[in-house]
Amino acid sequence: MTDFSDLRALYVNTSLKKETGESHTRLLMAASQAIMEKQGVTVEHVHMLDHQVPPGVFPDMTEHGWARDDWPALWEKVKAADILVIGTPLWLGEESSVCRVLIERLYGMSGELNGKGQSIYYGKAGGCVVTGNEDGVKHAAMTLCYALSHLGYTIPPQADCGWIGEAGPGPSYGDEVEGAPAGFDNEFTQRNTTIMTWNLMHLARMLKGAGGYPSEGNDRRAWQAGCRFDYENPDYRA
């Protein structure tokens, strides 16, 4: 069995529910978290609306007119995690507004570098959990996985899972329907949740074991260090 006990995972729920106990997205995230915890991963859950995190793309928005910003404390949790899983509900086929704030704040830290001169997110694995009762799981997953990849996270195969009920008003994930919670017996959802979780752990294990990515040609100083293409060189044109 693979040893995952030195890995840390952070689950960030961007539900619009003020209380985490009311969040349907939290229920599906909990299924993934339970798998990681069983394998010895240190797991922490953050409910974004438990904190005051204003929109913006700067590390500390109190320096840009906001009276309070809890992001610097949350950032320490993000930075310490080998795995980041973003959870979001769907509204009009898109991720939540709170989720967009999270992406903005992650982007605001993209200028930080690791010890190799690479993005601070290099060597970390990322994925997402999406719930709702309308279409849009794959669309939201596409947006979130691209954002994480662009920042520097590595995205494994099947890095997303989700559940949606019938189109239109109806039960959300975990709502009781005929005496049973909606979605809990959905084989497709549970299978994808399991595969996503294990792939995140496997990828994080490989990345951490390898010490992240080699720094050949991909650190922020590579361009200045002599990696420029010589466009005037006849051999290059040839």
Assigned domain for 79 exists:
yes
Question: What's the whole-number mean pLDDT along residues 173-202?
Answer: 90
Query: What pLDDT, on a 0 to 100 scale, did the predictor assign at position 78?
Result: 98
Would you say residue 234 has pLDDT above 80?
no
pLDDT digit string, tens, across residues 83-115: 999 999 998 889 999 999 999 999 999 999 999
Q: How many domains does the chain have?
A: 1
pLDDT digit string, tens, across residues 158-172: 999 999 887 777 788
Share of the chain above pLDDT 70, in %: 93
Give me the CATH number covering residue 167: 3.40.50.360
- CA-to-CA distance for 144 and 160, rounded, in angstroms? 9
Would you say residue 229 has pLDDT above 60?
no
* C-alpha closest to that of 14 among 74, 99, 85, 90: 99
Assigned domain for 178 exists:
yes
In Å, how far are 92, 133, 203, 210, 214 from 207, measured between CA atoms? 36, 35, 6, 5, 10
Assigned domain for 2 exists:
no
Question: What's the whole-number mean pLDDT along residues 196-221?
Answer: 94
Assigned domain for 212 exists:
yes
Rounded to 10 degrees, the C-alpha dihedral 4/75/120/34 comes to 20
The count of other CB atoms within 10 Å of the CB of residue 172 is 18
Assigned domain for 220 exists:
yes
Task: Give the Cα-Cα-Cα angle 186, 164, 35 (nearest 5 degrees).
Answer: 50
Enumerate the β-bridge partners of residue 160. Answer: 128
Would you say residue 9 has pLDDT above 50?
yes
Assigned domain for 1 exists:
no
pTM of the full structure: 0.91
Averaged pLDDT score across all residues of the chain: 91
- Cα-to-chain-centroid distance, residue 150: 12
List the domain range (segments joined by +) for residue 92: 8-237
Assigned domain for 3 exists:
no
In Å, how far are 15, 20, 35, 43, 154 from 191, measured between CA atoms? 23, 25, 12, 21, 21
- Model confidence at 60, in pLDDT bands (50, 70, 90)? very high
Assigned domain for 32 exists:
yes
